[in-house]
Amino acid sequence: MDLALIDFDHTVTTCDTYARFLRRVASPQQLAAAKWNVGPWLAGYRLGLVPAATLRIRVTRLTFAGREAQEMEAAGHRYAEEVLPGLLRPRMMDRIAWHRDRGDTLVVVSGSLDAYLQPWCARHGLDLICNRLEASADGLLSGRYLDGDRGRHKAADIRARYDLSAYGRVFAYGDSREDRPMLALAHERWYRGRRIA
């Protein structure tokens, strides 16, 4: 049995699914304020001045702080069912099917949210390592990630959960700088749809 480590946004999908989910669940007031609260940070990210994790942390706090956890979980399930199927890369879904047919362990490793990744992965039979929203005992979201942002800790989280030496071969699929430590764990590496090692 082999292990396949798969980034989600821009690897399995054609776009950033997290940004689309945020726009879908943001209140009208949050959307109106986003130009000033998020715009400069987004510009910095596009210029390579702001890391993806920093942008994620900021927009997560602005969008989710004080929201009901149950409401966001339900929104995530709807998003996984209604939106994600139209954003998938057919070639990558074929590759996932190829791994599944071989009996490989498949793991989505993402900086995106469990609210929609968990139901999607459950439906497709994949394990999941990703960001999770922190909720209080009264069911309100804090706007922070449980255990912090996991995007930059992908390789450490993989090592903590899987004994890589137990697999004959490790495959990794990614598209960004955040994925490079994960790719370095693999025998066979795919970056932006092309095999690089």
What is the residue-wise DSSP string for 30-52? HHHHHHHHTHHHHHHHHTTSS-H
Q: What is the mean pLDDT of each run of 10 residues along the chain (197 residues)?
A: 97 96 92 83 87 88 95 98 98 98 98 97 97 96 94 95 97 95 97 94
pLDDT by residue (tens digit) across 113-143? 999 999 999 999 999 999 999 999 999 999 9
Neighbours of 60 (CB within 10 A): 22
* Of the candidates 155, 197, 160, the residue with the CA atom closest to the CA atom of residue 177: 155
pLDDT of residue 97: 97
Alpha-helix residue ranges (DSSP H) falling in 83-170: 90-102, 114-124, 154-161
pTM for this one? 0.92
